[in-house]
Structure 1
Amino acid sequence: MNDGSTRDHGEGALAFDGLAFDGLAFDGLAFDGLAFDPVDTPSIPAPSAPVAVVPKAAGPVAFAQAPHRALSAAEQDNPLRDIRIAVTEAHRAHLDAHTRIQHAILRAARTTPAPLRSLTAAPVTVAAEGAFKPLARADRRTLDRAALESLSHGDIAAVFGTDYDQAEANPEIRIARASPLRLTAITDIDLRGGALSRGRLRARFDGDATTAAVQAVETFAVYAGLHLCLVDATLTAAPPSRLETGSTELEIVVTQIDLVPRPHLTAEVIAGDGRSISVTVTVTEKSGSAIGPGTGGTLDHWTGRIGHGGERVLLNEFHMAHLARGDQGIALGPEFAHFTGHRSTRLPTGGLLLVDRISRFDGTRGVLDRSASYDSEYDSPADSWYYADSANYSAPHFVYMETSLQAALLMGLYVGPTLTAPDQTLSLRNLGGTATVLRQVDLRDKTVAQSSRLLSTTMLPGSSLQTFEYTLSVDGEEFYRGETMFGYFSDEALGNQTGLDAGRTKPTWREANLPSTVRTIDIAGRRSTSGARLCSRGTLALLDQIDVVDGGGDHGNGYLHAVRRIDPDDWFFARHFHLDPVIPGSLGVETAIQAVQEWMLDAGFGSGMADPQFSIPADIDFTWKYRGQFLPTDRQCELEVHIKAVERRNDSVIVTVEASLWKPGLRIYELNDLAVELGDIPTSDGALR
């Protein structure tokens, strides 16, 4: 680009502020075998032929060669001067050409994700797994001059709504704080727009284009709520290159947005005539401002966030992001800072991070011999990736498990069990639990309230155990309840795991019974057909086929068997956990659910239903037990499912199963009374039944 921000991404790949364009490749510049030396070196002979820049392969874009001219008499003593001029001109021509390509891509490329099924008629653009989740969302997509002036005065909630209210916090958060307001209108804001689906904003301005570009990026940063997780901060912009343009229109395309190490946003700002600059805006706390818990985990100073119910929360999305993959001292207090950058207990990250804020906590760090209770929140936007990828009508089962278990482990860690052995690496693992759906509810655009209680902490040599009970609620009504146990284990303890059968090899039912008739359900084939909406897909496509023994299994009602190859590059290893990758136990449960769903469809249980949908049935106690972990090196995961019961109701069918999962040579997961329901579409009031 013209601002010199081109970076090399290897042969044949050029990148502009993180956007790589791999389709263009070029040979190096040849000087009769001599490397180009930018320093005057008279001893190097002049080339015997004019310098030329030659594309490696013909393509749709042609690059002009630098003109070759004869050396003047005054230049005969410096034969490399002409070479340097030619190379410089050719390089500039390349940059100009690539800049034009980039502009075309950024302006024309628009992703078109599949619309998401919703209770409303309006389609929802689906966020990719791992996409940044804005801290707040506003209904409005345009801003006039008066609204922009309000933002320049810091009246953010007045423009975007009460979700942006921070009471007296952040008095200096405003756009155009350092210069006169140049924006005259925002004609469109889209949190999922742009070539990378990370956000887009279009604006009109008058006056200085560079100032307007910075203000446009500041506006998007405020719109995405980046400031809401700090209490006393300012918007700071890295000094950008000058934007020289005769246009009065701008488009920003967000290339990066994140909360770590500080909330920040980088965007390509493109003028109407195609010229562009890159602008980064960061939310930076003022000196001395509190950004996290104090020594001993004290939470006696507010860090700026207001929760769903209007209360001041203790920890927020900024702390969750740091606990997942950043500075643990910021997340939990200075005692945890030395864990940063090392394998240690963390929350999942990306699309598997399912807790946002802690609103209440009555425990004390270091006090491990008494119970503690706490409340937390998780926002579940309708554009979340798991709604689009699940065969369920609402959230898939793993969301129920993860959002409750993550809330529990967070506060269990906060009291400090790992601080008793600060030099020992301890990994967190869930050991099992029991949970029940109390009522079926659609979670789209809801805030899930998580209430948990730490019941006990037991310290053991090389490990410690914690037990919890929890409930999940929406709009003041409980819908999920359970209890669970977590363990913190040393490397030695993890290395000595013996599975569910005391280290003995337990064969699958199929291996033990050698059934004569086995048929296969081709899940991948059905998934690839149009209209396969009752099929897990995309990121949640965990199975490609299952083998069925009709009338088989421990209960004689049917038996399912599947093998899934483990790829070290599977997406969830990067999410769960940072520097300690294992398959989430909840996705093992989800794999069993998908096998049952496919079997139910194959058995024709949806026949005669007007609009069949999968859901999690209520009032069935589901129990799980984990005694091992699936690692990236485990090669495969083997699943068997025993159909325990099939219950037919007036408008639905409920199948209850038992299941086990094996890593090579070891059975490590056991699931009891896991249930799946297939029934007609929910009622219009949002309840599923």
Structure 2
Amino acid sequence: AEAGGVRLAFFHYDCYVDGELRLSVREGQAGFFTPAELAAGGGVRWDPAEHPPGDDLPFDPPAVRCERTSFGTDRVRALAQGSPAECFGPGWEATAAHVRTPLLDGERLRLLDEVTVFDPVGGPWGRGYLRAETAVSPDDWFFTGHFKNDPCMPGTLMLQGGLQAMAFYLTASGHTVDRDGWRFEPVDTQPSRAKCRGQATPESRRIVYEVFVRGVSAGPVPTLHADVLGSVDGRKAFLGRGMALRLVPDWPLSQWRVLGPPAVQEDGAPVPLPRLGGLSGHREEKAVAVAADGFRFDYASLLACAWGRPSEAFGTMYEPFDGTRRVARLPGPPYHFMSRIVSVDGVQGGMREGSVVVAEYDVPERAWYFEQNPSRCMPLAVLMEVALQPCGWLASYAGSATTSEQDLLFRNLDGVKTVTGEVTAGTRAIRTRAELTRVSRSGDMIIESFRVVCTADGVPLAELTTVFGYFPRSAFDDQQGLPVPAEERARLDEPCDRVVDLTARPARYCAGEPRLPGRMLLMLDRVTGSWPEGGSAGLGRLRSEKDVRPDAWFFRAHFFQDPVQPGSLGVEAMCQLLQYHLIEGGAADGIVHPRFDPVLPGRETVWTYRGQITPANRLIRVDMDIVESGTDARGPYAVADATLWGDDTCIYRVRGLGMRVVSGPPPVR
């Protein structure tokens, strides 16, 4: 058509991806204009004050109140790079433990430089307002391809910039803090109108995006309804009316699995989690268990149990958890120690006592825990996980979580273990047999007991009995911990002039033979007390501390959407404090090539957990009594009882934990 000498084109189109309709455009318009006509254009004629929203949209308050009202380039870049806490500050600490936090577009597609105004009750309607700005440069990448001899910013990118500003608003309102792994997407089936009445060219200097909030829904799927105005050097160039953006559940493995082949972290240097989630080219070399409907319990399903869609871990039974609901997870790499399910005996979803799983873990020749442990053998914490993770898998297979309308958290409560062997880089595989021996239920709380036997290349390695529980999240709102007498609590503050900062890696404890682990595995920051003749047996007492960092690697590994420090690493902290005691006491003097056993073999160790360490905690303390010491045929040893405290609450108690100094390298299987 032609109007006033201007040629206009009218169009509509539909876009499909793999046969699925993803985008429809109706009443599309485009025109041919002279440079003079473009320069003389009046821009978008729109005043938000004249278009107030109706009463049909919700207006929920922010999930977290942000102290800041503006954000410079460094803060916006930090958000785009996956660090919301660096952008927003207090209130966003928990996001440091996210496996994959909801992100703005990054790198070249990031279209926001800074946010100059954020006001949840601002704007002409008092419903919220955001102003974001970005500089325009003649070198911007999009000018090269759009168009030849007529460079201008695509209107679709202006729309994308507006959506990024809306995503920033939702994030600044705290709606991503408790939604690890989710992503932003436009609301489908809800039409919006876009107008372009100006352009950004290489001669332009600045684009401003203004978000006028019409409504906000806090959930279960957080959604922002807004009008977005884009201005170029003060001229209103773009308007999006009735735009809607939401946060939707997503799973890191859905993207990561195609990025590369499976990878193993070989040392203490962090490996990006997307690399550890690769499944490209993976083939199962051994037989795996298969469900009645043909579902295979292979490595891909186990990785999905950590980071993927729940139905990809257990089949259709877990489809109800493929949305906003949450389910208990296995730990993810680098703290994931299951390679396949060899066999399973028991009805899936039956919650039957007597159900049995046999799982295998292929031990890598090079793994971070070998490199970090000076003894070059598998540390106790990893050995505990190898034994315990199949219990968690079996509890999920049995369908425990599917019996409640509430989302349940899965926690280890008690255990008794005896270790009889060692695992080295020469070990090929550990086979774990876990049997569900008892199930009891009270309301939404489910208690399950297991009997576990581990072998390494067919040789007995460990036996244990253990108890786990499913609990509603509210059960942890007021963490009571373990009861302790007043005099035991007072020991935490008892003064001592012997304080050792282990973060400085003092040579006496962190160099030579034997020595404490490397930085990744070391669960002690400092020893705050050492009384050689103290404790209940007069054989010594020790006390240590570790500062809790929300970005600690183990929170990301254990668990997705439910970050807690593994109880096994709390026990590992006790092992390391016992190692410190043996070094300090000179137990290794005169021993050729001394090293530590991972734990005193053949001794029964008992643990009780009644609480958790989360990113919200600030301090972990261990208080330990040496209850036995001596020398046997293999070398000097010590046995201890210990408690672990989260801030001021006693949450773990371990009895009979032993450690020994031996000579020579660990045996190679």
Instruction: Show the counterpart of 2:351.
Output: 368
Q: 1:556 to 1:328 in 2, by over 3 A?
A: same
Aligned AA for 1:671?
V
1:381 and 2:364 equivalent? yes
Matches within 5 A, 1:332-343: 332-340=314-322, 342-343=325-326
Higher strand fraction (1 or 2): 2
Mapped contact 2:80–2:106 kept (Cα < 8 A): no
1:626 and 2:609 equivalent? yes
What is the SS of the residue equivalent to 1:410? helix
Q: Which string of whole-angstrom CA distances, capped at 9 and with x for unpartnered residues, describes residues 506-534 of structure 1?
A: 7436258x46x542234334456664762
Match for residue 464 of structure 1 among 420, 432, 446: 446
What is the SS of the residue equivalent to 2:455? strand
Mapped contact 1:550–1:557 kept (Cα < 8 A): yes
Aligned AA for 2:330?
L
Comparing 330-339 with 582-591, which one deviates more in the overlay?
330-339
Cα distance in 2, alignment partners of residues 136 and 29 from structure 1:
40
Instruction: Show the counterpart of 1:670.
Output: 653
Match for residue 591 of structure 2 among 609, 612, 621: 609
Match for residue 409 of structure 2 among 427, 452, 456: 427
1:644 and 2:623 equivalent? no
**Aligned-CA RMSD value:** 4.2
Cα distance in 1, alignment partners of residues 143 and 340 from structure 2:
56
Cα distance in 2, alignment partners of residues 430 and 82 from structure 1:
60
Aligned AA for 1:614?
F
Deviation at 1:456, TM superposition (A): 1.2
Matches within 5 A, 1:292-307: 298-299=291-292, 301=294, 303=296
Deviation at 1:369, TM superposition (A): 4.2
Q: 1:553 to 1:418 in 2, by over 3 A?
A: same
Match for residue 636 of structure 2 among 644, 650, 653: 653
Deviation at 1:624, TM superposition (A): 0.3
Aligned AA for 1:542?
M
Cα distance in 1, alignment partners of residues 616 and 538 from structure 2:
35
Aligned AA for 1:452?
A
Deviation at 1:324, TM superposition (A): 0.3
Aligned AA for 2:552?
D
Aligned AA for 1:543?
L
Match for residue 524 of structure 2 among 540, 543, 561: 543
Matches within 5 A, 1:137-536: 257=275, 263-264=279-280, 298-299=291-292, 301=294, 303=296, 315-340=297-322, 342-421=325-404, 423-442=405-424, 444-501=426-483, 507-508=488-489, 510-511=491-492, 514=494, 518-527=497-506, 531=512, 534-536=515-517
TM-score by length of 1: 0.56
Mapped contact 1:454–1:466 kept (Cα < 8 A): yes
Deviation at 1:197, TM superposition (A): 7.9
Mapped contact 2:289–2:344 kept (Cα < 8 A): no
Q: Which string of whole-angstrom CA distances, capped at 9 and with x for unpartnered residues, describes residues 392-445 of structure 1?
A: 341000111101100111012101111111x31100000010000123453544
Mapped contact 2:359–2:390 kept (Cα < 8 A): yes
Aligned AA for 1:621?
E
Q: 1:424 to 1:394 in 2, by over 3 A?
A: same
Q: 1:672 to 1:318 in 2, by over 3 A?
A: same
Aligned AA for 2:519?
G
Aligned AA for 1:375?
V
Instruction: Show the counterpart of 1:681.
Output: 664
Q: 1:453 to 1:544 in 2, by over 3 A?
A: same
Match for residue 570 of structure 1 among 545, 552, 558: 552
**Matched-pair identity in %:** 26
Cα distance in 1, alignment partners of residues 514 and 539 from structure 2:
27
Q: 1:530 to 1:499 in 2, by over 3 A?
A: closer
Deviation at 1:651, TM superposition (A): 3.9
Cα distance in 2, alignment partners of residues 537 and 283 from structure 1:
31
Mapped contact 1:551–1:558 kept (Cα < 8 A): yes
Cα distance in 1, alignment partners of residues 271 and 620 from structure 2:
33
Cα distance in 2, alignment partners of residues 524 and 81 from structure 1:
53
Cα distance in 1, alignment partners of residues 383 and 77 from structure 2:
46
Mapped contact 2:449–2:467 kept (Cα < 8 A): yes
Matches within 5 A, 1:26-65: none
Cα distance in 2, alignment partners of residues 355 and 367 from structure 1:
23
Mapped contact 2:276–2:333 kept (Cα < 8 A): no
1:599 and 2:592 equivalent? no
Deviation at 1:133, TM superposition (A): 11
Deviation at 1:648, TM superposition (A): 0.8
Mapped contact 2:426–2:668 kept (Cα < 8 A): no
Deviation at 1:10, TM superposition (A): 6.8
Aligned AA for 1:673?
G
TM-score by length of 2: 0.58
Q: 1:566 to 1:653 in 2, by over 3 A?
A: same
Matches within 5 A, 1:16-95: none
Q: 1:603 to 1:522 in 2, by over 3 A?
A: farther
What is the SS of the residue equivalent to 1:498? coil
Deviation at 1:538, TM superposition (A): 2.5
Mapped contact 1:332–1:414 kept (Cα < 8 A): yes
What is the SS of the residue equivalent to 1:484? strand
Q: 1:527 to 1:542 in 2, by over 3 A?
A: farther
Q: 1:300 to 1:444 in 2, by over 3 A?
A: farther
Cα distance in 2, alignment partners of residues 325 and 293 from structure 1:
21
Deviation at 1:585, TM superposition (A): 0.3
Match for residue 541 of structure 2 among 532, 536, 559: 559
Aligned AA for 1:380?
V
Q: 1:563 to 1:284 in 2, by over 3 A?
A: closer
Match for residue 561 of structure 2 among 579, 599, 605: 579
Cα distance in 2, alignment partners of residues 446 and 415 from structure 1:
29
Mapped contact 2:266–2:366 kept (Cα < 8 A): no
Q: Which string of whole-angstrom CA distances, capped at 9 and with x for unpartnered residues, describes residues 114-133 of structure 1?
A: xxxxxxxxxxxxxxxx9x99
> How many residues end up aligned between the 2 structures?
436
Mapped contact 1:505–1:665 kept (Cα < 8 A): no
Q: Which string of whole-angstrom CA distances, capped at 9 and with x for unpartnered residues, describes residues 295-322 of structure 1?
A: xxx345374xxxxxxxxxxx11101110
Aligned AA for 1:635?
R
What is the SS of the residue equivalent to 1:670? strand
Deviation at 1:663, TM superposition (A): 1.6
What is the SS of the residue equivalent to 1:377? strand
Structure with more relative contact order (C-alpha pairs < 8 Å, separation 6 or more):
2
Mapped contact 2:401–2:408 kept (Cα < 8 A): yes
Deviation at 1:540, TM superposition (A): 0.9
Mapped contact 1:259–1:318 kept (Cα < 8 A): no
Deviation at 1:11, TM superposition (A): 6.6
Cα distance in 1, alignment partners of residues 150 and 271 from structure 2:
50
